[in-house]
Amino acid sequence: MLLVVVFVWAVPILWVVLTSLKQRTEIFTVPPTLWFRPTFENYVTALETYGIADALVNSAIISVLTVALTLVIAIPAGYAYARHRFAGRRALSFYTLFTQMAPAIGILLPAFFIIGRLRLIDTFPAIILVYLSITVPISIWLMITYFEEIPRELEEAALVDGASRYVVFGRIMLPQALGGVMVTGVLAFIEAWNEFLFASILTGSQTRTVPVAIFAFLTTEETLWGPFTATGVMIMAPVALIALFAQRYIVKGLTIGAVK
pLDDT at 250 (0 to 100): 64
Considering only CA atoms, which of 62, 213, 181, 211 is closest in space to residue 130?
62
Q: Is 223 helix (H, G, I), strand (E, B) or coil?
A: strand
C-alpha 243/C-alpha 186 separation (Å) is 7
- What CA–CA distances, in Å, run from 67 to 71, 146, 216, 238? 6, 18, 27, 14
% of the chain beyond a pLDDT of 70: 95
Domains plus CATH for the chain?
A: 51-217+234-254 (1.10.3720.10)
More confident residue, 98 or 198: 198
DSSP assignment letter at 216: G
Helix extents (H) in the chain: 2-20, 24-27, 41-48, 52-83, 89-101, 104-117, 124-148, 152-160, 165-168, 174-176, 178-194, 197-202, 210-213, 225-245, 247-254
Check residue 231 and give its pLDDT.
93
Three-class secondary structure of residue 24 per DSSP: helix
Residue predicted with more confidence, 122 or 254: 122
* Peptide linkage before 175 cis (omega within 30 of 0): no
At residue 253, the pLDDT reads 56
Say how far apart CA 175 and CA 189 lie, in whole Å. Answer: 21
Q: Which of 9-13, 147-151, 159-163, 219-223 has the highest mean pLDDT?
A: 9-13
Share of the chain above pLDDT 90, in %: 38
Q: Closest Cα to residue 243, out of 189, 198, 205, 203?
A: 189
pTM score: 0.85
Which residues on neighbouring strands pair with residue 218, listed in sequence order?
223
User: Which residue, 70, 102, 113, is CA-closest to 202?
Assistant: 113
Could you tell me which of 72, 86, 77, 189 has the C-alpha nearest to residue 134?
189
Q: Which of 189, 181, 191, 190 is nearest to 252 (CA)?
A: 181
Please tell me which of 2-16, 27-41, 233-247 the model is most confident about, judged by mean pLDDT: 2-16
- pLDDT for 260 equals 46
The phi, psi pair for 218, rounded to 5°, reads -100, 105
Rg (CA), the chain: 22
> Lowest-confidence range among 15-29, 175-189, 206-220, 243-257?
243-257
Ranking 42-51, 98-107, 110-119, 245-254 by mean pLDDT, the lowest is 245-254
Considering only residues 155 and 64, tell me which one the structure prediction assigns the higher pLDDT. Answer: 64
The pLDDT-based confidence of 252 (bands split at 50, 70, 90) is low
pLDDT at 89 over 60: yes
